[in-house]
Chains A and B, each alone.
Chain A
Amino acid sequence: MRLQRFATEVLVIGAGPAGLAAGYTAVRSGRHAILVDENPAPGGQIWRGEWTTPRSSEAALWFDKVRRAPLTILTGIRVIAEVAERTLLGEDQQTAYEFRYKTLILATGARERFLPFPGWTLPNVMGAGGLQALVKMGFPIRGKRVVVAGTGPLLLAVAAYLRAHGARVLMIAEQAPLSRLLWLGRGLWRFPTKAWQALILRGRLFDVPYRSSCWPLSANGDGRLQSVTLQCGSRTREIPCDYLACGFHLVPNVELALLLRCEVREGCVRVNEFQETSRANIFCAGEPTGIGGVDLALVEGQIAGYAAAGRPEAARALFPQRDRWRRFASRLNRTFALRPELKKLPDAQTIVCRCEDVPRGRLEEYRSWREAKLHTRCGMGPCQGRICGPAVEFLFGWTMESIRPPIFPARVESLIASPEQGESVWR
């Protein structure tokens, strides 16, 4: 087993907008920094696949800045465990990596939230972001009939992307009520760039029905998806389709923060004004501190980068900007809050934990996540509860209490690659 060792002043985990901004800011402030990401290229979820061909001017700008900076970016590496004080362990397909740091910045992003409903495990029912990622990798979507359903601004972006790649997007079903969407819209004048983006997206989707107070009741089909039944206001309707792209807003990735014993409250990493967590020298920026989108992630990343580099005044100068985007984020999160009716979607037979095939009915009799997990295996599979965890939390109000290494499935040989021998090289 090969083990590569790195040592750096500032280690950034996650190369999405927050991580790129943090790493860039730290090196521009004279620090040695390494950026590690599990994906094949930088960009995170939002700029996935854009590293070589940026589609947004913002991505192009940041990629360009990062390319010119003396920042080491290591991609395709997943951080799996903490092996010693200020030392993380990672792995890729062949090699184990040890990262020693003085200061750590967590920019681990967010993932889609899935909610179970009858039929959601049928083939061709996919995550909205997941389907978009597949299409970015060349998955043929041209001419296919797609229903996009769930909640959040991501639905519009995904629908527009799929449409641009030839999909026939039949409908966007948004569970949020119209009153909330209008309230969000009325506030947009304070965020002109967002208003403009919304208009452009809407323009691209001019002929796609966008229904508020509308959500999937069931995905139907024999062996594969044939149609989706939607609740649209007080009516139900069935739409034949080839794909159902579903996403119920986002869930912060806080596993690494939890592993490092940073305080996490209500699913978000707690940070102070300098983006520092409850643990000294560990900072956190972007979605893990609360779902806030790309603009908030960029500014939080810069603040964390400055603070990690010992430049509090430069960080402080960005506080007003952050406040502004936090206000926007809080409007978004209030708009797209999940309606309680969605808790009734899964029936007793609906699978909640896909890894271990646990239906909702088997979970009903338990009182805590741990109890249910011990007796039903819910959340014990390879996804480590990443998919069913947020769903179970929404359905039953249980939270996962603890996290243990490895935070992703990891090869035995990586876990035994000795962390104790040899000296780290500064790179």
Chain B
Amino acid sequence: MSPRAYDVIIVGAGIVGAACAAECAKEGMRVAVVESSCVGGGATAAGMGHIVVMDDSDAQFALTRYSQCLWDQLADDLPPECEFRRYGTIWIATDEEELDHLRRKEQFYRERHVPVEFLDERALAEAEPNLREGLRGGLLVPNDSVVYPPCAARFLLERARDRGAVIFVGRPVARLDEQGVTLRDGSFLPAGAIINATGTWAPELMPGLAIKKRKGHLAITDRYPGFVRHQLVEVGYLKSAHAHEASSIAFNIQPRPTGQLLIGSSRQYDVESSDVSHAVLARMLARACAYLPRLAELSIIRTWTGFRAATPDNLPLIGPLPGHEHLYLATGHEGLGITTSLGTAKLLIAHLLKRPPAIPPEPYLPSRMESLTCVKSSL
């Protein structure tokens, strides 16, 4: 094998790695993807697959909005098993304070030309008859959608493969450096650029990276078609998503095309075990019942956990690793990796090909915070 057999090697075949692979292959690069376990087996497998525009910061908005447009462009090509549906999100307010929050959210989206519809108490009840009475209102964001992430990751990888990408699955990486990737079996894959898209595992390959594991629980019901029609999220969700205390819970439920209901969400720092915690599960389900009382009678058929790759400022790390010419990062997407995978891939391509990106890349640059990337110089 000649030196630099690949223009780019992507480590990690989750949704982010798969999106990067598809994008790089489309640009005619010689691409390899190296995955230690299976395609879409990490946070991609565990997540809800909610494609959602977020308003918590301009940077988060820009990336989620841009990515959502990319998903919309991709939608017609997605095979049926990706289960892409434009269900829309309804953000729900329970009291006066949350109603103010909802109004601010509405204004935020309107100013940025995101279609939204305010639902008063009655309109909300009509839209979602199983919600309890007495909720103050909802904000419908009709363009938000859902997807089944493992199959979406697979689809993107297959696109890459069709354009010549080489996929190594079940091949753990021992280390990476400026020259290439050394696999645990001893083989060495030389490359011009290396993208670390390994989610929560990123620090294992780049020690010192400021990525923390943030555990989440999810539960799925048996089939109850029509029980909810949109993804329903409490407007206080961000309080939970941004709370940096040990654990937090927020109501978040999603209808699946199978008629099943996917119920979240929980966030926990400093938990290593992937076991389902009954206490967390019970709190999460109780929270959902507080919004949807009839949910109590429905059957849960499975529960699971996953780990989000969280950064201190809640924004992903997309771009070159400071001090390293050939190493790039595409990780730290926390709970938004499915949504932002496509935008991440576009930003990375812009870095690799030194092209102007479609959105300002600065907020996501790994260099934005010294402390974020105190990666050992041994790399």
Q: Which residues of A contact B (CB under 8 A)?
A: 1, 81-84, 89, 367-368, 370-371, 374-375, 380-382, 384, 404-406, 409-413, 415-416, 418-420
User: Would A405 and B285 count as touching, CB distance under 8 A?
Assistant: no
Chain B residues whose C-beta falls within 8 Å of the C-beta of A368 in the assembled complex: 38
Chain A residues whose C-beta falls within 8 Å of the C-beta of B194 in the assembled complex: none
Given contacts A411-B298, A411-B299, A416-B289, whether A382 and B222 have CB atoms under 8 Å apart is yes
Chain B residues whose C-beta falls within 8 Å of the C-beta of A375 in the assembled complex: 39-40, 81, 150-151, 154
A375, B295: Cα distance in complex, Å: 28
User: Would A374 and B276 count as touching, CB distance under 8 A?
Assistant: no
A405, B275: Cα distance in complex, Å: 9
Given contacts A374-B45, A374-B150, A415-B282, whether A409 and B222 have CB atoms under 8 Å apart is yes
CB < 8 Å neighbour of A84 from B170, B278, B304? B278
User: Would A384 and B301 count as touching, CB distance under 8 A?
Assistant: yes
Within 8 A of A (CB), among B257-302: 275-276, 278-279, 281-282, 285-286, 288-289, 295-302
Chain B residue with the shortest CB-CB distance to A374: B150
B322: Cβ under 8 A from any A Cβ: no
A375, B285: Cα distance in complex, Å: 26
User: Would B295 and A415 count as touching, CB distance under 8 A?
Assistant: no
Q: Which residues of B contact A (CB under 8 A)?
A: 38-41, 45, 81, 150-151, 154, 169-170, 221-222, 275-276, 278-279, 281-282, 285-286, 288-289, 295-304
Q: How far is the CB of B185 from chain A (nearest CB, A)?
A: 16
Chain A residue with the shortest CB-CB distance to B221: A412
A381, B275: Cα distance in complex, Å: 20
Count of chain A to chain B residue pairs whose CB atoms are closer than 8 Å in the complex: 86
A409, B288: Cα distance in complex, Å: 18
A81, B40: Cα distance in complex, Å: 28
Residue among A382, A412, A416 with most chain B CB within 10 A? A412
A84, B303: Cα distance in complex, Å: 17
User: Would B278 and A374 count as touching, CB distance under 8 A?
Assistant: no
User: Would B302 and A374 count as touching, CB distance under 8 A?
Assistant: no
Q: How far is the CB of A131 from chain B (nearest CB, A)?
A: 25
User: Would A410 and B299 count as touching, CB distance under 8 A?
Assistant: yes
A89, B289: Cα distance in complex, Å: 19
CB < 8 Å neighbour of A419 from B278, B288, B303, B304? B278
Chain A residues whose C-beta falls within 8 Å of the C-beta of B282 in the assembled complex: 83, 415-416, 418-419
Chain B residues whose C-beta falls within 8 Å of the C-beta of A380 in the assembled complex: 302
Q: How far is the CB of A163 from chain B (nearest CB, A)?
A: 38
Given contacts A382-B301, A384-B301, whether A412 and B289 have CB atoms under 8 Å apart is yes
User: Would A367 and B170 count as touching, CB distance under 8 A?
Assistant: yes
User: Would B299 and A405 count as touching, CB distance under 8 A?
Assistant: no
User: Would A409 and B299 count as touching, CB distance under 8 A?
Assistant: yes
* Across the A-B interface, the 8 shortest Cβ-Cβ residue pairs: A413-B296, A371-B38, A374-B150, A409-B299, A416-B286, A83-B278, A409-B301, A416-B282
Chain A residues whose C-beta falls within 8 Å of the C-beta of B150 in the assembled complex: 374-375
User: Would A412 and B301 count as touching, CB distance under 8 A?
Assistant: no
User: Would B278 and A381 count as touching, CB distance under 8 A?
Assistant: no
Given contacts A368-B38, A370-B41, A412-B295, whether A81 and B301 have CB atoms under 8 Å apart is no
Chain B residue with the shortest CB-CB distance to A80: B300
Q: How far is the CB of B304 from chain A (nearest CB, A)?
A: 6
Chain B residues whose C-beta falls within 8 Å of the C-beta of A411 in the assembled complex: 296-300
6 more CB-based (< 8 A) A-B contacts, given A382-B299, A382-B301: A83-B282, A371-B38, A375-B81, A382-B222, A406-B301, A412-B300
Chain A residues whose C-beta falls within 8 Å of the C-beta of B278 in the assembled complex: 81-84, 89, 405, 415, 419
A418, B295: Cα distance in complex, Å: 16
Q: How far is the CB of A116 from chain B (nearest CB, A)?
A: 21
Q: How far is the CB of A380 from chain B (nearest CB, A)?
A: 7
Chain A residue with the shortest CB-CB distance to B276: A404
Chain B residues whose C-beta falls within 8 Å of the C-beta of A410 in the assembled complex: 299-300
CB < 8 Å neighbour of A374 from B41, B285, B303? B41
User: Would B38 and A367 count as touching, CB distance under 8 A?
Assistant: yes
23 A-B contacts (beta carbon < 8 Å): A82-B278, A367-B38, A368-B38, A370-B41, A371-B39, A371-B41, A374-B40, A374-B150, A375-B151, A381-B301, A382-B301, A384-B302, A404-B275, A405-B276, A405-B303, A406-B301, A409-B299, A411-B299, A411-B300, A412-B298, A413-B296, A413-B297, A415-B281
Q: How far is the CB of A78 from chain B (nearest CB, A)?
A: 12
CB < 8 Å neighbour of A404 from B169, B288, B296, B304? B304
